[in-house]
Structure 1
Amino acid sequence: MPAAGRRLLEAMSGNTTARVVVSYGREVIVETGDGELLACLMRRRTNARPVCGDRVRVAHTDGGGVIEAVVPRESVIERGDFRGRPRPLVANVDRLVIVLADPPGLERLLLDRYLVLAAHADVAPLLVVNKADALDDAARGRVEATLAFYRDELGLTPLYVSARSGEGLEALRTALAGHTAILVGHSGVGKSSLINALLPELALRIGALSAASGQGRHTTTATTLFPLPDGGAIIDSPGVRTLRLDHVPAATVLTAFPEVARHAGRCRFNDCRHAGEPGCAVAAARERGEIAPERLETLAVLLAEAGDG
């Protein structure tokens, strides 16, 4: 619907379309189109439980608002609960920024998990190597060798940045402008430092969120959306530091391994798991050196976790 038509409907209904910035259980902080931060409660019959990044219909009340409905999502990143059931974490993102650093070291299994998560949500991944200024020649070569496959086979050219020195930050700002991105990464990679470098008015924003909540505080453990100065937004979420893939189908896991998928269709059995079955075209490709053994080891781990694994 055109923006003018949407505004007319809002005026007629008395409702406003806003975006969820952070959720504290039943209380949600939203930002309206004119930049107002509003503390809202959810109606019991809301069509979905709003999460960070959601667009919602809000009815104003004295001193706050009530969420009437969640606008249909363009994308959603989920994580499995303890029973493997999908639970929405963030919505309406179009970039998954995977932050890496050495130290603490590049963990390929975790990187591949994030790539599967991106494929499942149909969100474009972006690799960012932080602390680039601390890499000596040997460390830089080690990182480049680890990521060469992802660059050459998957088309994921990493950005080398440093929150401390400012190296590469302009290129990162350009890559994020106009997008809604969520930052993910292992503990110690410097996500918080990157967010501070990208958001010069972060302290003011956190103060405004604290004031809007009426609690005088904003917890750093809550998944939170921050607008970027050049347009777009960035989401910081501690909820995806580690994750399982219980809610992701095996077929989606395979899409993150295109060099395997190219051969999988020629396996003798349609349900081949590429783990020693007779007539496995993937095993034959591995023997010919067309698939790296470590990639198959990672795939086996992730397929075992998959929802239909």
Structure 2
Amino acid sequence: MSKKKPLSQGQLRRMRANQTKRLKRGDDDTQQAELQDNLLGPEQAGVVISRFGQHADIETADGTVSRCNIRRAVTSLVTGDKVVVRLATEVQSGSSIGGIVIAVHPRKSSLTRPDLYDGVKIIAANIDQILIVSSVLPSFTTQIIDRYLVASEDTDITPIIILNKIDLLDETNREEIETALTRYQNIGYQVFRVSSHTGEGVEDLKELLNNSVSVFAGQSGVGKSSLINALMPDAELLIGDVSGNSGLGQHTTTTAKLLHFVSGGDLIDSPGVREFALWHLDAIRVGWCFVEFRDFLGSCKFRDCKHGDDPGCALQQALADGKITQDRFSNYQRIIASLDEQRHARHFRAIDE
């Protein structure tokens, strides 16, 4: 009889996680049993304020927030989801559970992010606009902005570019940054220039957020939490300093939260990421997500054109004619080149684990 192949570290980790889930399920079943029908009120509408493992904080129409169990039939639940909930008529002694989420309404939009183990992972739902926050410090880069723009276009959620920390602009960086922002405005993107430190531009940003569900996206250290606090002082979000050694910010947000503006708009504060991976997209989709490329895609001489040195390339001709910019085209090529590298690294990391 041949020996069984030893379990990899990844298999062992998943096995232990499944065992933990089974044990936890027993605890959840006990909590569910405590909330029997005769202890629950009628069905009512709610929205997910935040998700914590097997539980979620649900806000109902009267502004009450209750931590609820999630019925097993509800297979996916994220911040921003519209739900149907039944709240407990009275919370049992020693329990923090105040109801049960029994159903989720269809989403009008989903913000997703590729995950090493879970494939494409939904971060938040029912979003109207993505505020892509960049800043003068850490160093301003269009490469990161373009990656977020691709992710936004792919999810069909309106992206808006925010330059934060404009009080740090000086003669060494002003011209380069303003030139880059103008390029984005010329292809139809809204751009806001703000400073959470001085308050400049904050009132204009408040008007943009009115009556919409927005999410902030951007690298750590660009001042997302500081900006949210300037827009919504009552949020009292934890603010992290930029590391003096690396220039990269320290992660301060650990779970997505839905916050309300007095004016009626909502803000979903989502965990910061250093890089928005795009390995789940193919090259054709990435090209489509560069909005100014769309008029030229499909017009190349050869159907399998890679938009490099290929003869008859419509994108190369558009670049030569000044109809697309070198900066955006270079960022597009960098993203395309990175797709196979990211997939390759993901594949071998999964094997190793």
TM-score relative to the length of structure 1: 0.83
Mark the CA change 1:16 to 1:79 in structure 2 (over 3 Å): closer, same or farther: same
Measured in 1, the distance between the counterparts of 2:56 and 2:274 equals: 23
Correspondence for 1:17? 45
What is the identity percentage for the equivalent residue pairs of Structure 1 and Structure 2? 36
Contact 2:218/2:272 (CA < 8 Å) preserved in 1?
no
Selected match of 1:103 from 99, 124, 137 = 137
Secondary structure of 1:262's match? Answer: coil
CA distance in 1, matches of 2:282, 2:100: 36
Does residue 141 in structure 1 map to residue 168 in structure 2? no
* Residue equivalent to 1:222: 255
Runs of 4+ that moved beyond 6 A: none
1:84–1:245 CA distance, 2 compared to 1 (3 A)? farther
Go from structure 1 to structure 2 and tell me whether the alpha carbon gap of 1:294 and 1:19 turns closer, same or farther (over 3 Å shift): same
- Are the equivalent residues in 1 in contact too, given 2:86–2:100 (CA < 8 A)? yes
RMSD: 2.3
**Which amino acid counterpart does residue 182 of structure 2 have in structure 1?**
A
The structure 1 residue matched to 2:152, chosen from 99, 118, 133, is 118
> Is this contact kept in 2: 1:186–1:242, CA < 8 A?
yes
Please state whether the residue corresponding to 1:297 is helix, strand or coil.
helix
Per the alignment, residue 330 of structure 2 pairs with: 297
The separation in 2 between residues aligned to 1:279 and 1:108, in whole angstroms, is 28
How far residue 260 of structure 1 moved from its aligned partner, in angstroms, is: 2.6
Task: Work out the CA distance in 2 between the residues paired with 1:299 and 1:139.
Answer: 23
The question of 1:151 aligning with 2:211 is answered no
| CA positional deviation for 1:194 | 0.7
Q: 1:32 aligns with which of 60, 66, 73?
A: 60
1:94 Cα deviation (Å)? Answer: 0.6
Greater Rg, structure 1 or structure 2? 2
Contact 2:288 2:297 in 1 (8 A): no
The separation in 2 between residues aligned to 1:43 and 1:182, in whole angstroms, is 27
User: How many residues are aligned here?
Assistant: 281
CA distance in 2: counterparts of 1:269 and 1:195, whole angstroms: 48
**What CA distance in whole angstroms lies between the structure 1 residues aligned with 2:274 and 2:259?**
19
Match of 1:282 among 297, 310, 315: 315
Q: For 1:279 and 1:21, how far apart are their aligned partners in 2?
A: 52
The CA deviation at 1:258 is: 3.0
Gaps of 5+ in 2: 1-40, 92-97, 239-251, 344-353
1:49 aligns with 2:76: yes
Partner of 1:72: 106
Say if 2:253 and 2:270, in contact at 8 Å, map to a contact too. Answer: no
Letter in 2 for 1:77: L
SS state at 2:200 partner: coil
Question: Take 1:96 and 1:278, find their aligned partners in 2: how far apart are those partners?
Answer: 37
Q: How far 1:89 moved relative to its partner?
A: 0.6
Which structure 1 segments of 5+ residues have no match?
1-12, 207-218
- Is the Cα–Cα contact under 8 Å of residues 154 and 289 in structure 2 kept in the other structure? no
